[in-house]
Amino acid sequence: MANETNGSHYRGVILDVDGTLLDSNAAHVEAWVEALNENGFEVTADDIWPLVGMGGDNLLPAAVGIDKESAEGKKISERRGEIYKSQLPHLKAFPGVRDLLTRMRDEGLKRVVATSSPKEEVGKALELAEVTDLVEETVSASDAGKSKPDPDTVATAVERSGLPPGELVMLGDTPYDIEAAGKAGVRTIALRSGNFPDDKLKGALAVYDDAADLLARYDSSPLGGSGR
C-alpha cells in the first residue's frame, strides 16, 4: 500500500533512470561485482546492492576504498562499463513508465533526468525505457561534479529546468536520490522498484511500488494537483 500525500502544484519532475524507469539495478550490481572480482577484490552482490544509486566516484571508495580517478579505479570503472554495456540490450522498462511520463507531459510538467550513470550509458537507457521523446533535459554524472548522494546532478537538473527547487519533485528509487534531492532543496517520490526497503526510503514524500502503481494513484499522489 502506498504512502500517499496530497501536495502542492509541482511544475516539474526530476527523473532518476536506473531502478526507476529502467529495470537495471541488478545489472549494475553484477557489473560492479564482476569488475571488482576480476581485479582482485572479493565482493559479492550483497556488498554492492546497498550502494546502488551511487556513481563510481562514491561507490568505489565506499565498497573497496579506491579513488575512481586512481589508475586502479579507472581500470575497474572501465571494465564495469564494458560489462554493463554488454547487458544493456537485454534490459527493459518497468511497467507503466511510458504512460506515467506521458501523463506528466499531458499535465504540463517539465521532465528532466538526473542520473549517476555516465553520459554514454544514459541515451541507450532512455531508448530502452522508450521515453527518449518524453524527456526534455538530461543530466548525467558526466555533466556535473560528484554523483549521488552528492547534490550536483540534481542541482544541475534544477538549473536546467528553469524552475525553483520548491516547484520540482524528484522521482527515484534509492536513499541516495532522496539525499541528493534534499540537499538541492527538492522533495522526492520514492519507488520500491529499485529493491530498497521502505526503511531506507525514509524522508520521501510518498512511496509507491513502481511507476505503474504511481500512475494508478496519480490523482491522490503529490503530483495530483500539478498545473499546466
Lowest pLDDT segment from 4-8, 15-19, 85-89: 4-8
Separation of alpha carbons 201 and 204, rounded Å = 6
Contacts of 45 (CB under 8 A, 6+ apart): 29, 30, 33
CB 167 within 8 A of CB 157: no
pLDDT digits (tens, 9 = 90+) for 21-70: 999 999 999 999 999 999 999 999 999 999 999 999 999 999 999 999 99
Q: Report the predicted TM-score, pTM, of the whole model to 2 decimal places.
A: 0.92
Question: Dmax over Cα atoms in the chain, in whole Å?
Answer: 53
pLDDT digits (tens, 9 = 90+) for 146-162: 999 999 999 999 999 99
